[in-house]
Structure 1
C-alpha cells in the first residue's frame, strides 16, 4: 500500500499537537515492509499560491510562449501535488485548525489538485462525478477549542471543509478521523486529552497495518 502523508504544520511537536499526531502515525507505520510511506510536507515545498500566475502559465503554454520563473514554479508545484495524490492508495492529512479553518498552505495543496478532469468532472447532464473513488483517506486534526458541540460545529471550517472536499468532491473514502480538541480550552485536562488522542492515532495506524497484512 502506498501511503501519502500530507503534513500541514511546521511547528515543532513540543508546541504542536498536530505535529505530535503526525509523528505518532509515522512511528507506527514507517518500519512496516508492506507499506510505502511518503511525506508531503507542505511547508517545506515550494508552493506559490493559486492566482493569475497559473492562468497566465496556461495561456503561455497554449500560445507556445516562454514561461516566467513564477509560472514554471507554480506549474511544477501543481504537477508534483497531482503526482503525489495519484500515486497514493491512502492519503493521511495531518492538519490543525487555525482561525476556524485550515492553513493557507494546505488550501494551496487542495487548490492544486482540485481540477476538473483530475479529481472530479461533470457528466453530460451537468452533474459532478468523483474521480478518486478508488482511494482512501484518514483525517488527523487538532484544535485547541471545543468545536464538536452543535453550536460550535457550524463554524468549524477545517474538518468540515476537508470532509466535503476530500470525500464529497474527490470521492476518497474516509476510513478514520482522529480529532483532538479542547486542550487549550481546558488546560488542566490537556495532558489527558492529548494522550487519549495520540492513542487513537496509534489505533488508526495499527488498523491500516492489520488490513494490509490481511490483504496480503
Structure 2
C-alpha cells in the first residue's frame, strides 16, 4: 500500500501540535514492510502560488512559446503534486488551523490537484463525477481553540474544507480523523488534550499497518 503523508506545518514539533502529530504518525508506521510511506512537505517543495503564471504556461505549451522560469517551475510543481496523489492509496494530511483556515502552502497543493479530468469530471448532464473513489484519506489536525462546539463550528474552515474537497469533490473515503483542540484555550488541560490526541494518531497508524499485514 502506498501512503502519501502531506505535511503542512513548518514549525518544529516542540512548538506545533500538528507537526507532533505528523512525527507520531511517521514513528508508528516506521519499518512497516507492507507500507510504502512517502512525505510531501508543502513548505519544503518549490510550489509557486496558483495564478496567471500557470495559465500563461498552458497557453505557451500550446503555442510552443518559451516558458519563463516561474512558468516552468509551476508546471513541474503541479505535475509533481498530481503524480504524488495518483500513486497514493491512502493520503494522510497533517495540518493546523491557522486564522480559521489551512496554511496557504497546503492550499497551493490543493489548487494543483483540484483539476477537472483528474480529481473530478462532469457528465453530459452537468453532474459532477468523483474520480478518486478508490483512494482513502486521513486528517490529522490541531487547533488551539474549541471549534467543535455548535456556536464555533461554522467558523472552522480547515477540517470542514478538507472534508468537502477530498471527501466531497474528489470522492475519497475518509477513514480516520484526529483533531486536537483546546490546548491554548485551556492550558491547564493542554497536556491531557495533546496526549490523548497523539494516542489516537498512533492508533490510526497502527490500524493501517495491521490492515495490510
For the superposition of Structure 1 and Structure 2, which TM-score range results when normalised by the shorter chain? over 0.9
Secondary structure of residue in 2 paired with 1:151: coil
For residue 24 of structure 1, give the secondary structure of its aligned residue in structure 2: helix
Q: Distance in 1 between matches of 2:174 and 2:120?
A: 17
Indicate the residue corresponding to 2:148 in structure 1.
148
Q: Deviations over 1:139-178 (max 9, x none)?
A: 0000000000111111100000000000100011000100
- 2:79 aligned with 1:79, yes or no? yes
Q: Aligned partners of 2:84, 2:194: CA distance in 1, in Å?
A: 30
| Count of residue pairs the alignment pairs up | 213
Query: Matches of 1:204 and 1:210 in 2, distance apart?
Result: 10
Alpha-carbon offset, residue 210 of structure 1:
1.1
Listed one character per residue, the Cα deviations across residues 10-38 of structure 1 (whole Å, up to 9, x for unaligned) are 00000000010000000010210000000
Matched, 1:117 2:117: yes
- TM-score, scaled relative to structure 2: 0.99
In the alignment, which residue of structure 2 is the partner of 1:180? 180
Aligned partner of 1:168 in structure 2 is 168
1:19 aligned partner: 19
In structure 1, the residue matched to 2:204 is 204
Matches within 5 A, 1:32-71: 32-71=32-71
Q: Where does the alignment leave 5 or more consecutive residues of structure 1 unmatched?
A: none
Matches within 5 A, 1:128-139: 128-139=128-139
Q: Which runs of 5+ in 2 are unaligned?
A: none
Once the two structures are superposed, residues 46-78 of structure 1 have per-residue CA deviations (whole angstroms, 9 ceiling, x without a partner) of: 000000000000000011111110000000000
Q: TM-score, normalised by structure 1?
A: 0.98
Aligned-residue Cα RMSD (Å) equals 0.4
Residue 100 (structure 2) aligns with: 100
Q: Distance in 2 between matches of 1:106 and 1:38?
A: 16
**Residues 83-120 of structure 1, C-alpha deviations (whole Å, 9 max, x = no match):** 00000000000000000000000000000000000000
Structure 2: how far apart are the matches of 1:212 and 1:138?
16
**4+ aligned runs moved over 6 Å, structure 1:** none
Q: Secondary structure at the match of 1:150?
A: coil
